[in-house]
């Protein structure tokens, strides 16, 4: 799949984030913060320029109002759906209807048919939201994608192929409420794409269609799946009650944590070097802090830092319940300032602060880390944005600068582990 600089990220269910070569961020069907299939590290949106809404069901626009209030994006959709969103605070609606095409920033959007129902649940009222639709999106580099929305297969998909010829199609395969694998395979016969991305499956038990079943039915089409990620997550051991509760709270409230795929790796690294002191830059509700505290043991010490006093108070409660409160020193305030005040050298320094501060962190770390110690940093692949050509977002630029400085540094031997969002492990020489 050659996107020519376009970054396409599946956020679970039918939600996608698109980062254009021009630096704009587009969300298709904004169900993110409350989407159980969305990875926790993706739930906090940094920037949104455009929302494309296919229809009004809650599992597609469930977080639209919150995203609109925080980011004030342009909103594309049916007149009825956009009218409802205007009442909820949308200031930049770009209404359209099926068959229409409009330029939205650096993309061209065509609204096409979808065979599905549409209603907006607003409290105890069900409001008409116009008809369901799909979108063909064309980028300045010539790449065309088709997001089918929620739909059954329909014969006019052949017209979508003839008129727009999208190379990449996102098709629902979950069955029950949309197409299943069999119908989605027939849709591929009509659309004749190079690449198909299955969506709208597995989020709820009733959505039984699977990518593997779909893939078997379309042997001539590249089907993008994540079987390795699914396998790895299926192998994770069950977490205890406190950690499981923290994962659920973080997911519900869009609080970034390292999550269950990365945290055991951090624990293992601490055991491998017999770490007894850990300084954590950016601790949030203390999920990774507990893993560090358990790794350093009863005689060890972990320094927690976070700028939010509410996070710190919640973290304190978790530490007490986890039985590690006596190993953790809490600091509320600027994590970099707290680190700059430290006179001792630590066995591990873990970096998970605001991404624009990453280059500053590197300059502070080396004098405060012992020889043979580990400097570990989360989110260094930044959902693939580090591969963008000429990125515009300041966070991406900062991470790229940080990664380059870290690899070029004579103080460290560095490896990036492609776990989840990328973890840099740097050994102090």
109: domain CATH number is 3.60.15.10
Task: Examine residue 264 and state whether it is found in any structural domain, yes or no.
Answer: yes
Q: Is the pLDDT of residue 300 over 70?
A: yes
Assigned domain for 277 exists: yes
What's residue 144's pLDDT?
98
pLDDT score of 336 more than 80: yes
Assess if residue 33 is contained within a domain: yes
Q: Residue 254: which CATH number?
A: 3.40.50.150
* pTM score of the predicted model: 0.65
Helix H, strand E, coil C: the string for the chain is CCCCCCEEEECCCCCEEEECCCCCEEEECCCCCCCCCCCHHHCCCCCCCEEECCCCCHHHHCCHHHHHHHHCCEEEECHHHHHHHHHCCCCCEEECCCCCEEEECCEEEEEEECCCCCEEEECCEEEECCCCEEEEEEECCCCEEEECCCCCCCCCHHHHHHHHCCCEEEEECCCCCCCCHHHHHHHHHHHCCCEEEEECCCCCCCCCCCHHHHHHHCCCCEECCCHHHHHHHHHCCCCCHHHHHHHHHHHHHCCCCCHHHHHHHHHHHHHHCCCCEEEEECCCCCHHHHHHHHHHCCCCEEEEEECCHHHHHHHHHHHHHHCCHHHEEEEECCHHHHHHCCCCCEEEEEECCCHHHHHHHHHHHHHHEEEEEEEEEECCCHHHHHHCCCCCCHHHHHHHHHHHHHHHCCCEEEEEECCCCCEEEEEEC
Structural domain of 355: 239-428
In this structure, are 274 and 214 located in the same domain? no
Q: Distance between CA 4 and CA 18 in Å, rounded?
A: 13
Question: CA–CA distance from 84 to each of 27, 51, 114, 245, 416 (Å)?
Answer: 18, 14, 20, 35, 45
What's the average model confidence in pLDDT over 275-292?
Answer: 97
- Is 234 within the bounds of a domain? no
Q: What is the mean predicted confidence (pLDDT) over 90-106?
A: 97
Q: Judge if 112 and 212 occupy the same domain.
A: yes
User: In the predicted model, is pLDDT for residue 360 greater than 80?
Assistant: yes
Residues 74 and 165 occupy one common structural domain: yes
Looking at the fold, whether 181 and 247 belong to one and the same domain comes out as no
Instruction: Give the per-residue pLDDT at 218.
Output: 95
Structural domain tally of the chain? Answer: 2
Residues 24, 69, single domain; the answer is yes
User: Could you tell me if 178 and 258 lie in one domain?
Assistant: no
232 occurs within a structural domain: no
pLDDT > 90 in the chain, percent: 80
pLDDT at 142 > cutoff 80: yes
- Residue 392 covered by a domain: yes
296 and 193 in a single domain? The answer is no
Q: Which of 225, 252, 272 is the last residue of a domain?
A: 225
Q: Is residue 2 part of a domain?
A: no
Same domain? For 150 and 245 the reply is no
Whether residue 357 sits in one domain with residue 210: no
Report pLDDT digits (tens) over 45-90.
Answer: 989 999 999 999 999 999 999 999 999 999 999 999 999 999 999 9
233, part of any domain: no
Reported residue count of the chain is: 429
Confidence check: pLDDT of 384 > 90: no
- Read off the pLDDT band of 228 (50, 70, 90): low
User: pLDDT by residue (tens digit) across 161-181?
Assistant: 999 999 999 999 999 999 999
Are both 191 and 270 inside the same structural domain? no
Name the domain boundary from 225, 260, 291.
225
pLDDT of residue 34: 86
- Is the pLDDT at 381 greater than 70? The verdict is yes
Radius of gyration of the CA atoms of the chain, in A: 23
The string of pLDDT tens digits covering residues 32-52 is: 988 888 877 788 898 999 999
Residue 230 — very low, low, confident or very high, per pLDDT cuts 50/70/90?
low
Q: Do 221 and 251 fall within a single domain?
A: no
Specify the higher pLDDT residue, 4 or 412. Answer: 412
């Amino acid at each position: 799949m050659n996107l020519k600089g376009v970054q396409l990220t599946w956020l679970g269910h039918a939600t996608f984030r698109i980062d254009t070569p021009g630096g704009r961020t587009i969300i298709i069907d904004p169900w993110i913060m409350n989407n159980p299939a969305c990875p926790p590290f993706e739930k906090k949106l940094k920037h949104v320029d455009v929302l494309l809404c296919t229809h009004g069901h809650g599992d597609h626009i469930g977080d639209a109002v919150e995203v609109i209030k925080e980011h004030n994006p342009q909103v594309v959709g049916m007149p009825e759906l956009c009218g409802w969103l205007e009442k909820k605070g949308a200031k930049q609606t770009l209404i359209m209807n099926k068959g229409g095409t409009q330029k939205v920033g650096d993309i061209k959007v065509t609204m096409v048919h979808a065979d599905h129902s549409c209603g907006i649940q607003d409290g105890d009222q069900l409001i008409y939201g116009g008809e369901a639709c799909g979108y063909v999106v064309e980028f300045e580099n010539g790449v065309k994608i088709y997001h089918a929305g929620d739909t059954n297969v329909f014969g006019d998909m052949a017209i979508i192929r003839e008129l727009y010829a999208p190379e990449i199609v996102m098709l629902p395969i979950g069955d029950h409420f949309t197409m299943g694998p069999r119908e989605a395979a027939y849709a591929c016969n009509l659309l004749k794409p190079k690449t198909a991305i299955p969506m709208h499956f597995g989020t709820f038990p009733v959505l039984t269609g699977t990518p593997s079943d779909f893939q078997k039915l379309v042997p001539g089409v590249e089907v993008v799946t994540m079987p390795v990620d699914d396998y790895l997550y299926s192998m994770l051991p069950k977490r205890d009650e406190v950690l499981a509760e923290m994962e659920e709270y973080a997911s519900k409230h869009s609080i970034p944590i390292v999550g269950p795929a990365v945290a055991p790796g951090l624990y293992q690294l601490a055991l491998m070097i017999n770490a007894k002191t850990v300084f954590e830059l950016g601790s949030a509700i203390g999920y990774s802090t507990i893993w560090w505290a358990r790794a350093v043991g009863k005689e060890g010490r972990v320094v927690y830092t976070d700028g939010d006093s509410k996070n710190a108070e919640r973290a304190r409660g978790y530490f007490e319940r986890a039985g590690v409160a006596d190993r953790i020193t809490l600091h509320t305030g600027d994590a970099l300032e707290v680190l700059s005040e430290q006179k001792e050298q630590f066995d591990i320094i873990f970096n998970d602060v605001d991404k624009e501060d990453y280059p500053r962190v590197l300059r502070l770390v080396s004098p405060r880390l012992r020889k043979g110690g580990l400097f570990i940093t989360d989110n260094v692949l930044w959902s693939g944005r580090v591969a963008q050509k000429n990125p515009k977002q300041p966070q991406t630029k900062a991470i790229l600068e940080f990664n380059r400085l870290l690899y070029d540094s004579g103080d460290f031997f560095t490896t990036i582990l492609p776990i989840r969002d990328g973890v840099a492990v740097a050994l102090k020489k």
